[in-house]
Amino acid sequence: MRVQERRRFLPTEVADDHRHDAPLPIGFGQTNSQPSTVADMMTLLEPFPGMRVLDVGSGSGWTAAILGELGGPESAVFAVELVPELVERSRAAITQPWVRVHRARPGVLGLPEFAPFDRILVSAMADALPSELVDQLGADGLMVAPWRDVMHRVRLTRGEPEVTDHGGYRFVPLLHTRFRPAQ
């Protein structure tokens, strides 16, 4: 996380707050998650060198860059974001060629055309287990995702999801329909 300095992924008006352990606004009703939450999620995700990983709701691109750092150049990191302006900003901030930011298609959760993934990180709150993403996990894959105000880890074992709870968290809502800026 130190190598991928948070400041680089923040709008100038909040960049000086990059060391605060708090979510910071990045525009369009979205936030850059607080560092302690990102650290918890990365630990639960069990990243490894050479992994194929999907970052859903990539926002500023910071978590995708961290995943790229943890996976190294042998990895393939696919970030997906619905807000076009955030897609462009995160593409400009990410320097690793093995980390690619994709614009989400309305009504499609994740990037099924690039599946299967070893790991999936979801940085927005769903209403329930996002089964469309479970379907994008490879054999023995692992997903970390919040829903109903609880962080969950979903591990595929012999094709069956095993879900464990890992405490209460707050996130912006998971969007997978046409994006409309907050009024």
| pLDDT for the residue 158 | 86
What pLDDT sits at residue 172? 74
pLDDT, position 136: 97
Predicted pLDDT at 168: 81
Does residue 141 contact residue 121 with C-beta atoms inside 8 Å?
Answer: no
> From the CB of residue 179, how many other CB atoms can be counted at a distance below 10 Å?
18
What does the pLDDT read at residue 169? 79
Phi/psi-derived region of residue 85, left when phi > 0, alpha when psi is between -120 and 50, beta in every other case: alpha
**Which sequence spans correspond to the domains of the chain?**
45-183
The tokens for 97 are 């060629």
Catalytic hit among 33, 60, 75, 123: 33
HEC assignment per residue over 113-181: HHCCEEEEEECCEECCCCHHHHCCEEEEEEEEEEECCEEEEEEEECCEEEEEEEEECCCCECCCCCCCC
Cβ atoms of 98 and 119 within 8 Å: the answer is no
Give the per-residue pLDDT at 178: 47
What pLDDT, on a 0 to 100 scale, did the predictor assign at position 176? 62
Give me the tens of pLDDT residue by residue for the chain, a chain 183 residues long.
778 999 999 999 999 989 998 888 899 988 889 999 999 999 999 999 999 999 999 999 999 999 999 999 999 999 999 999 999 999 999 999 999 999 999 889 999 999 999 999 999 888 889 999 999 999 999 999 999 899 999 999 888 899 999 978 777 777 665 444 443
Domain 45-183 of CATH type 3.40.50.150:
yes
pLDDT of residue 177: 52
Helices H / strands E in the chain, number of each: 4, 9
Q: Specify whether the backbone of 99 is left (phi greater than 0), alpha (psi in -120 to 50) or beta.
A: beta
Our answer to whether residue 90 is catalytic in this structure is no
